[in-house]
Structure 1
Amino acid sequence: MTTRWNDNDQYGHMNNATYFEYIDTAVNGWLMQDTGVDIRDLPAIGIVASTGCDYFAELGFPDTIEIGLATSRIGTSSITYRLGIFRAGDPALRALAHFVHVYVDAETRRPVPIPDVVRAAVETLPRVDS
């Protein structure tokens, strides 16, 4: 993914809040590509229950970023993702994030089991310690 001009803040680097947009895009983009279904059409939806990020080095426009995706926990109704954020072509970790999806019924918003198609896809990801 290529960063955008408006990702930068007044300090000339990508604003910390912008990382979460890329994290959300990485997780949901991967899910939609890997499951082969439009996750917006499932009876259960993944809502973000927790997210966080540790920053190690700056990124900014016009960097191209790469995001590595793994899981640290797959429960009955939730998935904890771990994401490594890198500048393309550079092995140095720029940021390390976590992102928790809790699956809820689209109508009632009550927790439900992870949809089978999503679970099958997520189980193919590398597993890391949290």
Structure 2
Amino acid sequence: MSENRELTRQDFKHFLSIPTRWMDNDVYGHVNNVTYYSYFDTVVNEHLMRHAGLAPKTSKEIGLVVETKCKFLEELSFPETIDAGLRVSKLGNSSIIYEIGLFKQAKDNPSAIGHFVHVYVDNEDRRPVTIPQRVRKAVEPLLV
């Protein structure tokens, strides 16, 4: 992730509330680690659908996930609602690096920090392409 210090709620520019589900908990009583990646995917794609008109089945260009990372800091569990914070640490020619913070409601310190990289490709031949202007316009306000 992009900084040496721990990120806080104030470091993120867009938030989406996501309720945990009964099935998110594992036998240890907390949200299973793989579910955190689902939350990351949800906040990124929600933003792209709302602000860039993302339509995965029909868009000429799509973002493919090529790298993810998660730093777990505090357990999440059902039932609670988390606030997924989103920011962009790098906006390149064909790739975007997102950072995601998962926060318990009313807490300033994250329970997890994620890293999520999209590379834009042609939806048919999967060759890299320049990030479409509608996507660039949607993520520029998130750039730090």
Question: Is the pair's TM-score, using the shorter chain for normalization, greater than 0.5?
Answer: yes
Alpha-carbon deviation of 1:34?
1.4
Q: Which residue pairs with 1:7 in the alignment? A: 24
Name the amino acid aligned to 1:122: V
Q: TM-score, normalised by structure 2?
A: 0.85
The unaligned stretches of length 5 or more in structure 1 are none
Deviation string, structure 1 residues 2-49 (Cα, Å, up to 9, x no partner): 0000000010000000000011010000111112x2332320010000
- Identical counterparts, % of pairs: 50
Name the amino acid aligned to 2:80: D
Q: Which residue pairs with 1:80 in the alignment? A: 97
In the comparison of the two structures, how many residue pairs are matched?
A: 126
1:50 aligns with 2:71: no
Q: Which residue pairs with 1:115 in the alignment? A: 132
Name the amino acid aligned to 2:38: E
Q: Distance in 2 between matches of 1:76 and 1:126?
A: 14
Name the amino acid aligned to 1:19: Y
3-state DSSP of counterpart to 1:123: helix
CA RMSD across the alignment: 0.9
Q: Which residue pairs with 1:96 in the alignment? A: 113
The unaligned stretches of length 5 or more in structure 2 are 1-17
Q: Which runs of 4+ in 1 moved over 3 A?
A: none
